[in-house]
Amino acid sequence: MSAFSTKKGLGIVAAVAASALAFGVALPAQAASDDQILKIQGIIPLTGSLSFLSPPEIAALHLAQDDINAAGGVLGNKVQLTISDSGDGDTLSIADQSATKALASKADVVVGAAASGVTRSIINKITGAKVLEISMSNTAPDLSTWKDGGYYFRTAPSDLLQGRILANQILQDGRKNVAIVYADNSYGNGLKGVTSGILTKGGATVTSYAFTENETNFASIVDKVVAAKPDAVALISYDESKKALPAFQAKGFDGSKFYLVDGNLFDYSKEAFASYLNGSKGTTPGKDASASFKSRLAASYKKYTGKVLGNNFSYGAETYDAVVLTAIAAQAAGKATGEAIKGQLTNISLAGSGKTTVTSFAAALKAIKAGKKVNYDGLSGPIEFDSNGDPTGAYIGIYKYDATGNFSLVRTVAGNSTK
């Protein structure tokens, strides 16, 4: 997921301070040296346009920490976790403050940021200090070749894959005249570019309409789109969709002809236009989480926040895997530092002759202690990092909305995220 921005008032500062207190985990001082204690700093959107993503991410961060520590910890020590705010594109100083905090606390790993644009603003500071950064939801293709010294990874596939799957679904549905309505930012432009290219190659006519981030008035764009009489509209946005969709409804456009993406694929059941989306589809990275994992996430969120998680599990598996991967890498390296973890992370994600495939930290720990080499296949997929830190083995879920404004899985498509 890529760059975004939202206008915020001065109240953000107070919210950030409160969030840090609420989600920070203070553990007793341990006798082991710092390079034997894995310290993780989560930098996620507690405020801003993507704050709807933070509940499953908070739940997954804590759940992974608990699972690792219950299995015996990394190098015999409990993992230390702190969570702070990433803010958004209009409040990049918040992410910068959180990155500074991570370095000051001698974090070995930063999990985040959620948005590619926010990651761009802090990646040099983090990776330049030889702290490993692993995002659960960055999708911008340009991050694949970022000059990060090999310290940047992500467990979500780039939009090179999502764009292909989205376009192919539109073509499979027989759509030939497609309008792409997209946010004019790195996320929107990147995903639009891939989607448009595949649609055009497939014989569809594509017309694109850009809007400014956080746009609230879609009247003029909707008029142009409706006048062109498309048989499908791909809407690439964040929560601007809550303004765009009712504008289309007001003009009588068929709501079943929409195709949404990971930035706006969420529960609309409480919106007045909920039933309007009946029959529309959308895509998001990852497999549909199992019922047991969803239950565990919900319990974790309730335990650490006292709140109900709800029906949004987006990027929960990717977040969980990010933590477990770094823990396994530290255990395999025999040292919990960014540099040591970087040196093992790709290796422990790849299958190979003589390797033991594991699906949990507990199994990995047992195998490593027995002198075996491991390959971790995660809840989000096989992962298998390439030389750029991208997961080559990845999945995109295709979902369909019903008359309640909620969505369910149609099928999961496997693909290579880098080709």
Residue 161 buriedness (CB in 10 A; 0-12 / 13-18 / 19+): buried
In a domain, 173, yes or no: yes
Same domain, 152 and 295: yes
pLDDT at 418: 60
For residue 193, the number of C-alpha atoms closer than 13 Å in the C-beta half-sphere is 13
Same domain, 370 and 306: yes
Domain containing 273 — which CATH number? Answer: 3.40.50.2300
Same domain, 354 and 280: no
Please write the tens of the pLDDT for every residue from 272-310: 999 999 999 999 998 888 999 999 999 999 999 999 998
Same domain, 164 and 265: yes
Same domain, 215 and 243: yes
Q: Distance between CA 407 and CA 256 in Å, rounded?
A: 13
The sign of the dihedral angle between the CA atoms of 236, 7, 319, 389 is positive
Residues in Cβ contact with 321 at an 8 Å cutoff, skipping those fewer than 6 apart: 136, 155, 376, 378, 379, 380, 383
What percentage of residues in the chain have a pLDDT greater than 90?
79
3-class DSSP assignment, residue 154: strand
| Domain membership of residue 311 as a residue range | 11-156+291-388
Same domain, 18 and 126: yes
Cα dihedral 323→65→132→150 (10° resolution): -20
Same domain, 130 and 21: yes
Q: How many domains does the chain have?
A: 2
In a domain, 338, yes or no: yes
- H-type helices in 173-283, by residue range? 186-201, 219-228, 241-250
Per the listing, tokens 């992962």 go with 383
Tokens of residue 7, six digits: 């206008």
Domain boundary among 222, 257, 285: 285
In a domain, 306, yes or no: yes
**What does the mean pLDDT of the chain come to?**
91
Q: Distance between CA 320 and CA 220 in Å, rounded?
A: 42
Same domain, 83 and 106: yes
Please write the tens of the pLDDT for every residue from 182-239: 999 878 998 999 999 999 999 999 999 999 988 999 999 999 999 999 999 999 998 8
Quick one: how many helices (H) and strands (E) in the chain?
Answer: 12, 15
Q: Distance between CA 336 and CA 314 in Å, rounded?
A: 28
Q: Is the pLDDT of residue 3 over 60?
A: no
In a domain, 295, yes or no: yes
Domain boundary among 242, 258, 285: 285
Q: Distance between CA 36 and CA 13 in Å, rounded?
A: 34
In a domain, 394, yes or no: no
Same domain, 297 and 273: no
In a domain, 65, yes or no: yes
Quick one: which of 83, 40, 41 has its CA closest to 336? 40
Same domain, 281 and 365: no
pLDDT at 414: 86
pLDDT at 417: 58
Same domain, 78 and 224: no
Q: Is the pLDDT of residue 374 over 50?
A: yes
CB environment 362-393: b (16+ within 10 A), e (fewer): ebbbbbbeeeeebbbbbbbbbbbbbebbbbbb
Domain boundary among 245, 264, 285: 285
Q: Distance between CA 36 and CA 376 in Å, rounded?
A: 21
Q: Is the pLDDT of residue 34 over 90?
A: no
Q: Distance between CA 91 and CA 61 in Å, rounded?
A: 23
How many other C-beta atoms lie within 10 A of the C-beta of residue 212? 11
pLDDT at 303: 98
3-class DSSP assignment, residue 359: coil
In a domain, 184, yes or no: yes
Q: Distance between CA 168 and CA 283 in Å, rounded?
A: 11
Q: pTM for this structure?
A: 0.87
Same domain, 219 and 256: yes
In a domain, 2, yes or no: no
